[in-house]
Structure 1
């Protein structure tokens, strides 16, 4: 049991050290990015005003902005358990593929509880959802992107209909936060 704790702690310490470096090294300046409107069927459920609105989320860093969206509460809980709030909030020019609560609900409860209890595995899964660059809607049409976890995810589609790894649909894309672009997805991605 002690060995397992050490390996989890070591994995988290490594993530805490290397993620900011990877984010800073790979991230272009976010301030000069091209502004577009959010798209997708789930965007209609976003509040029109307040901290959970598109305007409100644009004022907060990504983890804080996600905490204002009730559809992302499971993701926010996972990010907190993995100790990634500060890392994500301090990164610049990243893209986060954010699974909804319904996406997490597709995972059998026993399996989800096991993942949430294993900080190293949880960190691996969550960092697979983050790309160290801003991804525009044009790039989603036929893209391949290296994730902070070290794997690659692919995107395909056109107009306002895009998939990630051929399994997850972007249900509300190109949501801006103070430091990131968020594409909300309907399925939790697994590192390959």
Structure 2
């Protein structure tokens, strides 16, 4: 399945020997996301060649969802909806922190076929209403940016 210096925190770490999912698995802020990816059956997709940009909701972002939302999404009968939401966090291509600032006001096509809007406000970069809080966690097949809100496709 194909997947489609103004920041608060920058993380210039580079690890070109691992795929995005491997790096996310080692990040203590992304345990819920990794579990959801596994439940949704997207593991092989996100270990593919890429490049991908993952706007990765932190564990705190998942915890901020309305009560019962995550548990409901993880049920087998809701797998299509879970995949749709997770793929709304994936851009098919590499967008670095600097690229993101240059996309201010533009919509980008996400891997689920929907659009998300990039914006810069008061020196902070957002995708829709989610603030990018950690940037440029590099992998051999793309880059991860940690966001503070789970993106929900319309």
1:92 aligns with 2:50: yes
Alignment of 1:148-163 (within 5 A): 148-157=111-120, 161-163=124-126
Runs of 4+ deviating beyond 6 Å: none
For 2:134 and 2:64, how far apart are their aligned partners in 1? 18
For 1:131 and 1:90, how far apart are their aligned partners in 2? 13
Structure 2: tracts of 5 or more residues without a match = none
Q: State the match for 2:13 in structure 1.
A: 54
* Largest Rg, 1 or 2: 1
Larger relative contact order (CA 8 Å, sep ≥ 6):
2
Q: How big is the shift at 1:174?
A: 1.8
Structure 1: tracts of 5 or more residues without a match = 1-18, 24-36, 44-52
Q: 1:172 aligns with which of 127, 131, 134?
A: 134
Q: State the match for 1:79 in structure 2.
A: 37
- Relative to structure 1, the CA distance from residue 159 to residue 89 in structure 2 (aligned partners, 3 Å threshold; closer, same or farther) is farther
For 2:137 and 2:124, how far apart are their aligned partners in 1? 15
TM-score by length of 1: 0.70
Aligned residues: 148
Larger strand proportion of the pair: 2
